[in-house]
Chains A and B, each alone.
Chain A
């Protein structure tokens, strides 16, 4: 079954993956990426692991984003408490946190376009609007973003709630928005732009009710980094080591890979991934699908029957071994990419004890179950510089998609 899934990805990637990684420097007279320009801009965006705007988050990295009405330098707003999410693509902002009025995206018939975005634990629903998105010295101009929980889109189509429970307010989202900076450029891609089967992702919303539609790639909600004028080939998430737990820790989100003096790969191992950032992990001699996801607040993997780690009695979505255990795995590039492989280890601590004995927001050893694969969430980022190369973008390590640490 996994083989079927993988083979469909190979077909989709096809020729691309065979030349993607390690294919740089093959044209022109210089090996410098095209995005390396002389007039460099600030590419360092501060991030912090704290309790977030709902004052209850554990293991979430938050940042601020400035959004402006496209072309305006005065109709702007800086919104804090935005969750940094390497597991998705696109900027999504809670309506309740938004004070500027952004232009609504419409279809050919003049009807507003809205989106249903599916995540592991729920869905976000709301209109697609356009904004200039600014972080550090970088700008993504006229970028389609999603506004979540907008009052004039309060009726969620049943085709959307069919995909999960809505996360449409601060209580359910735990953040003022999501900054999706994964490997994918668009949040849906060709599945939503081709007319063979209309996905329940983008909707046209006349007064009579919302209907699922296709949405062109350019009009889809997308990774702001890929739209920057410079430093647009990927990101680095830098967070310090956390010993046990700490109230808060500060780090950086660096834009670009190998485009400036502060974003080289150094000694990082580069793992080729599929277009969504998936690679593989071997644990106890079995191969599983895996991904690096700063938007998951723990390292979630497999089930008790495989790991022998009991789930907690109170926080039943976490593992609770009586004594902390070191978990050893081997990470390997997605088959058909660059073949990189390297061991990694992390610690599974007692989830109930780690979360309930303090109000600390940065917790190092949080783990839990997840069906059939490895979700290397935020604790894996502590003490590692994690690189994400965007699909189709050139870097000194080859063309994305890839991940590296």
Chain B
């Protein structure tokens, strides 16, 4: 009984860890980059910069997702470009709900359609383009490595 309970708890912990990782991208780690690659059925190409790496996932949906990973292994930024937006739950990870709430809040004061710029202390998201050619980027300002500017994420 005790052993079974321990085993159950361990399995629960494994499942929990697995799913936290599986749904983390922005704010996640390299495991989440590989998870995104698998989910987006894409090929991965990595470019090394001085203080970070850019992992570009070319998905079969025609959307290119780039994930910016610091030397400490943290995903501090993401960007995308393609026919549509990628799965933002996957790409924005735990920031997705906040993003949707901020978009809806901005609509209340917005007077028409146009690209979005969401700026909060812990999250910046920009989306733009038009039907068939959409773009976006997101980053966690306090997680940018020293010397990295927001426009480096593109």
Contact = CB atoms under 8 A, between A and B. Distances in A.
Interface string B55-68: 01000111010100
A138 interface: no
B110 interface: yes
Contacts of A89: 131-132
B154 A184 contact: no
B114 to A, nearest CB: 5
B136 A371 contact: yes
A1 B66 contact: yes
B117 A87 contact: no
Contact of A164 (B88, B133, B137): B88
A317 B117 contact: yes
A161 B110 CA distance: 20
Given A1-B154, A174-B112, A87 B131 contact: yes
Contact of B114 (A56, A162, A377): A377
Given A297-B114, A305-B149, A370 B103 contact: no
B134 A118 contact: yes
A291 B127 CA distance: 15
Contacts of B107: 165, 171-172
Nearest to B102: A165
A369 B117 contact: yes
B149 to A, nearest CB: 7
B130 A120 contact: yes
A231 interface: no
Contacts of A305: 149-151
B10 interface: no
B106 interface: yes
Interface stretch (A65-73, A96-104, A195-203): A195-203
A88 B62 contact: no
B25 interface: no
Interface of B: 41, 56, 60-62, 64, 66, 79, 81, 83-90, 100, 103-104, 106-107, 109-117, 119, 126-137, 149-151, 154
CB-CB nearest 4 A-B residue pairs: A297-B112, A87-B130, A88-B131, A58-B111
